[in-house]
Amino acid sequence: MGKNHNTQTGQLTYSGWGRYPKQEASLVEPSSRDEFATCLAMSDPREQKTIARGAGRSYGDSALSEILLSTRYLDNFSSLETSESGHSTLRCAAGLSLAQILETIVPKGLFLPVLPGAKAVTVGGAIASDIHGKNHHIDGSFCDHVDSLRLLLASGEVVDCSRSHHSELFHATCGGIGLTGIVLDASICLTPLSSLAITQSSLIASNLEECMELMEQHLKAKYSVAWIDCLAKGAAKGRSVLYLGEHLPASENNARSKPQALKRRSEINIPFNAPSMLLNRYSMAAFNSSYYALKKSLPATAKIDYDKFFFPLERLRNWNRLYGAKGFLQYQLVLPLATAREGLHAILERVARAGKGSFLSVLKRFGKGNSNLLSFPIEGYTLAMDFKVEDSLFPLLDELDALVLAHGGRLYLTKDARMSAEFFRQTYPEWERFAELKAKCDPDQKFSSLQSRRLGLTR
Ligand SMILES: Cc1cc2nc3c(=O)[nH]c(=O)nc-3n(C[C@H](O)[C@H](O)[C@H](O)COP(=O)(O)OP(=O)(O)OC[C@H]3O[C@@H](n4cnc5c(N)ncnc54)[C@H](O)[C@@H]3O)c2cc1C
């Protein structure tokens, strides 16, 4: 996570993965539930607000406040149980990363049902953002596989929550961006893993229509994600490479034989901020064109290690420095099925015209959403684009907001650093229920982030 020391205040400056915005804060690292409760009892919300901090892989300001309560030392495994019907459940602390969990469960032939593109993400962060993977159209989001969780409230009380017990608190905490309390631990349902290898098929689509058509045709594929050239114009608008993936059947590869994926892959480090002038419409367009041409020429099917399939960016350590010292924003939107085609055309048109592209623009097909109050997914299409921070970016994003709103969509809170309170309220219909619950469980508003203040959810 990004941090810099300020020698005058003794505080450090923190940011999310996008390195925008930055905030001076005190990081506290309690190592037990009691220490967390003591920290909360000692904090005065009239002076300083507090928010939980996992691995800092959220892009914007959802894990930024004056006091950051790190979950780093909430790192123990409690139990791994398999029922008679063969269902395995893991109970573990919220500060464990998904990588640590995989290291433990993969050799046992088990897997996490939902994985994001970064394995440093913690269980608490995965729950607070109700994250999704490349299989949302089949398996839903992370919290759909969480049976129960223990939540430390601002009062110091610990509450067990599940769909049947304190269910309102459960549905507010899942996707609740850290505002209901500190998730201490959780029970997560695991899935059997047939193999460490994934069969990946790459399908080339010469425009957006083709890509969406292919995604609809392959709805049964376990994993599906498209890289999209967001700078291509005219007939080539939305040209993309759709990656489909399936776990290799056990008969073809033994999951427990040799955990290749657990070996350390060689890494390339980005040692300093790239000069931001290198990132302009020409270099981005050249990159996108070359990537598309390269993928077109490569074999359409490959057997690859799961680590490479799920976490392709992990080899490029600190890749967030590529966007220069001011950082970058990830703009991730979702549009419902009925309006997605038209809306995505309009959005890609506007982005290509502005010439503000990104290396990595990703399109995914979402399945049905769930009943968590602030969860992001709705059935439709989600598009994520990275943009380097510069003054001229913000008016463009305001224009994109208008298009998202007009097409009934919304933005992903865990990637957000600039959406307005008004836009949030217009696009998250359950925000009032969430705010009511927040008022009940945290009346003094101890838990408050830069984001929650901007969105009008806290003071
Ligand atoms: C390269 C990359 C790829 C990604 N790919 C995906 C993807 O495919 N799908 C997806 O959905 N997301 C993706 N993300 C986003 C990431 O999964 C989420 O932002 C996730 O919440 C980050 O977890 P974290 O542990 O780093 O939490 P942080 O960034 O530290 O915090 C995120 C939020 O969780 C809260 N929080 C953290 N721990 C707790 C806790 N114990 N109790 C209560 N609240 C807590 C924080 O207060 C904050 O609101 C990606 C991020 C990166 C950097």
**pLDDT mean over 334-339:** 98
Residue 142 pLDDT more than 70? yes
Which atom of ligand 1 is least distant from the CA of 95?
A: 41
Residue 4 pLDDT more than 90? no
Pocket of ligand 1 contains residue 69 by CB under 6 Å: no
**pLDDT mean over 266-293:** 72
Which atom of ligand 1 is least distant from the CA of 129?
A: 21
Per-residue model confidence (pLDDT) at position 253? 63
How close is the Cα of 125 to the center of ligand 1, in Å?
4
Write down how long the chain is.
459
CATH topology of domain 77-193: 3.30.465
Per-residue model confidence (pLDDT) at position 5? 60
CB 56 within 8 A of CB 118: no
Which atom of ligand 1 is least distant from the CA of 173?
A: 43
Q: Whose CA is nearest to atom 39 of ligand 1?
A: 124
**Considering only CA atoms, which of 367, 300, 380, 302 is closest in space to residue 337?**
380
Using pLDDT thresholds of 50, 70 and 90, give the confidence band for residue 426.
very high
Residue 254 pLDDT more than 70? no
Residue 257 pLDDT more than 60? no
Q: How far apart are CA 362 and CA 348, in angstroms?
A: 12
Residue bearing the bigger pLDDT, 263 or 188: 188
How close is the Cα of 209 to the center of ligand 1, in Å?
31
Residue 226 pLDDT more than 70? yes
Using pLDDT thresholds of 50, 70 and 90, give the confidence band for residue 262.
very low
Q: Among positive and negative, which fits the CA dihedral 336, 341, 343, 349?
A: positive
Rama region for 49: left / alpha / beta (φ>0; ψ in -120 to 50; rest)? beta
How close is the Cα of 293 to the center of ligand 1, in Å?
33
CB 218 within 8 A of CB 227: no
Helix, strand, coil fractions of the chain, as percent rounded to 5: 35, 25, 40
Best of 96, 122, 135, 142 for a ligand 1 pocket test (most atoms within 8 Å of beta carbon): 122
Per-residue model confidence (pLDDT) at position 184? 98
Best of 23, 36, 53, 307 for a ligand 1 pocket test (most atoms within 8 Å of beta carbon): 53
Using pLDDT thresholds of 50, 70 and 90, give the confidence band for residue 319.
confident
How close is the Cα of 203 to the center of ligand 1, in Å?
30
CB 255 within 8 A of CB 248: no
| Residues 62-98: tens digit of each pLDDT | 999 999 999 999 999 999 999 999 899 999 999 999 9
Pocket of ligand 1 contains residue 62 by CB under 6 Å: yes
| Residues 94-112: tens digit of each pLDDT | 999 999 999 999 999 999 9
Parse the chain into domains and list their residue ranges. Answer: 77-193, 197-420
Residue 261 pLDDT more than 60? no
Pocket of ligand 1 contains residue 94 by CB under 6 Å: yes
Best of 57, 115, 150, 449 for a ligand 1 pocket test (most atoms within 8 Å of beta carbon): 57
Residue 256 pLDDT more than 60? no
Domain 197-420 falls under CATH 3.30.70.2520: yes
Q: Among positive and negative, which fits the CA dihedral 110, 116, 118, 121?
A: negative
Per-residue model confidence (pLDDT) at position 258? 43
Q: How far apart are CA 219 and CA 291, in angstroms?
A: 25
**pLDDT mean over 179-188:** 98
Residue 265 pLDDT more than 60? no
Answering whether pTM is above 0.85, one says yes
